Structures are given as structure tokens and as C-alpha cells.
Amino acid sequence: MKKIRFSLVYRDMWQSAGKYMPRVDQLMAVAPHIIEMGCFDRVETNGGGFEQINLLFGENPNKALRQWTKPFREAGIQCQMLDRSLNGIRMRPVPADVRQMMYRVKSAQGTDVVRIFCGMNDPRNIIDSVKWAKGAGMITQAALSITFSEVHTVDYYIDLADKVINSGSDEICLKDMAGIGRPVWLGKIVAGIRKKHPNVPIQYHSHTGPGFAMASILEVVRAGAEIIDVGMEPLSWGTGHVDVLAVQSMLKDAGYQVPGVNMEAYMKVRSMHQEFMEDFLGYFITPSNRQMNSLLISSGLPGGMMGSLMSDLEKNVADLNRWLEKNGKPLLNEDKLLVKLFQEVEYIWPKVGYPPLVTPFSQYVKNLAVINVTQLVKGGKRWEIIPDNVWDMLTGKLGRLPGQLDPEIKAMAEKEGKSFFNGNPQELYPDKLDEFRREMDENGWEYGKDEEELFQLAMHPEQYRNYKSGKAREDFLKDLEKRRREGGGLYHFPRIAVDKKEASGTAPAVEAATPLPATMVVEVEGEKYRVRISYDQDDAGNQHPPGNQPQRKEKQESPADNQPAHEVLSPLSGTFHLRKEQKEKAVSVGDKVSEGQVLGYIEAMKTYNTVRSEKSGTITAIVKDDGTEVLEDDPLFLIK
């Protein structure tokens, strides 16, 4: 009787649900009960996203990980991490020496198995990671990013598996991140790999969104897979993963040897997860992520990003409806925009070369689809804004695309002066550890055990600096407090503010004052100008419009001052940055700039969008503070 092993994808369960994972005290509280369940050979304890979330909390990820892996290892359960190869455990490429350092640090912190995937399925990116991870003594598992297209055939995946196994990978994973692999087709891939490599363990990972997952698990097990990734309630199904109880029952009935589940411990863990969500995590979980959706079959968007997608969608709808309302057009709701988004992803995916829709490329394609849909709704054209990260994907800087770029995009690249790269992507991201060592030394920061603190700075520079300064914790608490006031999320419904006297029927509530506008558009002799409005404030901080105020003597302006300044507007809503990296020189008031020069960036949906000057001149004002949230069409710079 063939034995089947289960792996609890704990990190991915939470990432697929929402924005955050449990705090370290919560992780430590739940770990003993996960062990008591008695059915897991592996637990996904860390990897992509996990440590950034610790930093965003204001927690030390190194201490959290060492505490979190310890009880599992003592119980004989392997700890597994997710590695994005060229991107390490973040969203963008990592210097070569930082990638190498990661495996040494993670091994020392208690991670046994490293699952390595490349969003492009470029074996060069995977093989580098396999070599470095094996050097650190880790079990290496090369992952095939599963997607379904005319270029992603059974032979394509068997060949990819053959290359990475022959290069030293200990195991293979079929990473069906969107759950769109057709069951019989997946069985053929597993059978083909098993025929060539009969002794290489094969693990299967699938999200349940489109509905294929249970049938796919049965097919891959029949074909030779022996380790299955599972989730558990209340975080299974929907955009998450199959529940261990369902898989255990199905495979037991099919004649396989499967571990039993301690139901008392299962219910305890389930109850604790609900408590974690009721505490604060539920504020960041969109209720629709608990639903399955067969529209995901054609769009192929992965479960792991649906949490962030639904969060982004709320903001996208608000931004778009703001424009629609201003222009007297019918408003959209989230469902309508979601369908438009799915359709646009399906349309543009072949045109951008069929990158497997997995982090970060799922985000890149989704973001491009959101921008295109927004422009089309407004009467514009596709491809009007292509973020810098997306250009890197299209031009080969992140790996080789599986398919061919559409001629229209190639022509746009030529027009934009973009060059295509055919070498090993790591060549573009050389060693940088010495720079980070200098920064640690200048700040008097300790390198930490096994240099793990140095690693965190090198892997997550901005998040680590914000953690050290206390800004991360402060921002998190502000965000949490805002959500608590407004409600929302899986267990928290929007609150209706009611005055206590109104509730008792004695007096009506006083409505909050409507915020006064900061800008308006005026028309003079057929020309439209955007003007800013300033208000006086009284001692209580209340704003008063101009009109009933003492007259002030204004500074005399020269004729040159009277010339209208050109406004550089934000191309979309997001976070405004004057620079993308610390070494980059930010522009300042008084700088002379030329047309097309980079002025700053808008970080939106995990990508950076360049803001360029539309004319030559002198920067007379930087309207928004660095790091602040901006809306589409907000003025960012004034240039004369």
C-alpha cells in the first residue's frame, strides 16, 4: 500500500487569505497543537512574504523564525520554506551574494527543505539556487510553476524537471499556484517525470479557486506523487488550499496509506485560527477570498495573490468611480471590475509571452490588466502605462519568457529605447553585501547570530530600516486602528457611527463636517487650470474658506512668477517616492530638469511606476511629501 505524506502550507494559507500572518506569540501558541494533529510530515514555516510581514509588524523575523521552527524540528517534522530563486524571498531580484547568504542563514535558523521556483520557469534561475542551497546542507526541491497554455505542454514540464534534477535537485514540486492544471494532464506530467526519475520524491501543491484541486490530487497520486500540500479550516478552500480532512478521506478510500488526524487537536487549531482573525487578522481578509470562482480557469490568476488582489480592487474601484462620477458616467462595482480584469488578463497574457502567473509575474500581469482596464473605461488605449518592473519582465531581465512577445509590444519597446537581455539574469544583479555591511557599521547595528540581521537588511532594505526606526510598527498600528474604526474584513463588518443620544432617541447625532476641497478646476477663456485652495484654521484646527477673513498683504510677484507652473500629475493612485533605492539621488526644489527625466515613482500594487517630467524647466515645488499616499491626478511637482 503506497504511503502518502502531508505538508501543511501554513505560510501560504495566510498569504492566500489576506495581508498578514500571525504574530510570533500566536505562532508559538498554535505550534504544539499542529504537532498534536499527528498528520504532518512537513510544515511550511517561512519563505516569500513571511519575514517582510514580521518586519511590518515591527517584530524581529529572525527571532520569530527560530522560535517557530524549533518545536516542529524537535517533533521530527521538517520545516519548509518558499524561495523565489532570482527574487529570493522578496518581489524583485536579489544580489548574488545575498542569495547565497540566504540559504546559510535559513538553514541555521531551522529550515530543512527549500522549495525553489522561478516565475518564468527559467532553469538558470532555479539551478543557481539549487547549487547554493545544497552547499548550505538543505534539501532542495525544484518547483515547476504550473500553468496551462499552448506553450506549456506535458513535454515542456517533463523537460524542465529533467534539467533541474540532472543539475542536483533532490525533489520536484508541481506548483499549481492557480489550481488551473487539468487533472489528467497533471497526471501525465507526474508519470513522465516518474518514468525518467523513479526515486525522486514528487510533491503537489494546488490552490482550490477554480475547483480542480481534489480531482488533480487523486490523479497525481495515482501517477506517482507522494507528498501533498494541504490546508485546514478556517483557511482552506476558496483561494486557499484543500482541507486535510477531505484529502485524507479521499485517498484513504482510494486505497492509499494516509496518516490519521487527531480531531481534538484539529478543532483546537481551527478555533485558535478563528481567534487570531477575531483579534486582528480578520480585518485584512476579504470575505470573497473564501469563495471558489471558475472564472479563474481562463484568467489563471493564482490563489496566493487573490488576497492582495481583492484588497487592491477595493482601491481600484474607488479611484475609477471617482473619475466616472466627475465625468458623469455610470459607476462600477467590484464584481463588474473583477470580471473586466479577468477578461483583460486572458487577453493580454499571450501578448506578453505567457509568463506563468505566479509571484511576481502574476502581480505584473494583473497590474498591467488593471491599468489597461482603467484606461479603456476612461476612453483611452491599452499599454498607455507600463510599469518599470513589467518592462524588466518583457525584456528578459528577470528570465526568458516561455512564449513570444506580441509585435505591438516589441515596437513599443523599441520606441521607448528598451534593450532586450539574453544572458543569465543574475549577471544584472551583482554582489552588494559590502554596501550593507557599511550601513550596519555606520548605524552601529549588530550583525546578529549567523549574520542574520545583516541578511534582513540586505534582503528587505526599506522594511528593515523602518523596523529599526520604529516606523513599521507605528504604521501598522495606525492601519489597524483605522480598520477597527471603519470595520470590514472577514469577521468585522463596516461600522455605522451613531451618537449615543441618537441611539437612545433623545437627540440626533451631529454629522462630521464635509472636508473642504483642496483643488478645483477653473476655466478662463476656454483654457482649464487646476488651482489649489488654502484655508485659514482657527485655534481648534477647523478650516475656514476664504471670504470672511482678514485681508493679508501678499508678496509682490515678478512677471516671471505670474507665469503658470506646469503640474506633473500622478499617473495612478499609490505611494509617492522620490527615489526607488537609497543610492538614487532624489530631485529637489530648484533643480533644472529636462523633458523625460525621472522625477519620482508611484508604488502601486507592488510595482514601481516612473513619473517623468513632461517639459524642461526648474522644479519650483514638490507638492507631496516623500512616502505619502496620493490619488490619480494629484499634483506631484510644479515646473516652470
pLDDT of 39: 98
Q: What CATH topology corresponds to 296-428?
A: Cyclin A; domain 1 (1.10.472)
- The total number of residues shown for the chain amounts to 640
Write down the pLDDT at residue 548. 39
Sign of CA dihedral 123, 125, 128, 133: negative
Q: What is the reported pLDDT for 367?
A: 84
CB atoms within 10 A of CB 440: 17
In single-letter form, the type of residue at position 57 comes to F
C-beta separation of 81 from 115 below 8 A: yes
pLDDT recorded at residue 306: 60
Domain locations along the chain: 5-284, 296-428, 519-639
553: left (phi over 0), alpha (psi -120 to 50) or beta: beta
CB neighbour list of residue 218: distance below 8 Å, 6 or more residues apart? 183, 250, 251, 254
Contact 492, 283 (CB under 8 A): yes
Distance CA 602, CA 522 (A): 27
What pLDDT sits at residue 304? 55
* 391 three-state secondary structure: helix
**Averages of pLDDT over each 10 residues, the chain, 640 residues:** 95 88 94 98 93 89 95 98 95 95 97 96 96 97 94 96 97 94 97 97 95 97 98 92 97 97 97 93 82 74 61 74 84 80 88 87 86 86 88 93 92 90 94 96 96 97 94 91 79 43 33 42 50 44 41 39 78 84 82 89 76 89 87 88
Of 429, 453, 459, residue with least CA distance to 440: 453
Phi, psi angle pair for 450, to nearest 5°: 55, 25
Residue in the structure block whose three cell numbers are 532594505: 461
Domain 519-639 sits in CATH at 2.40.50.100
* Fold exhibited by the domain 5-284: TIM Barrel (3.20.20)
Q: Which grid coordinates are listed for 594?
A: 529636462
- Angle separating helix axes 50-57 and 461-469, nearest 10 degrees: 20
Are 116 and 108 spatial neighbours (Cβ–Cβ below 8 Å)? no
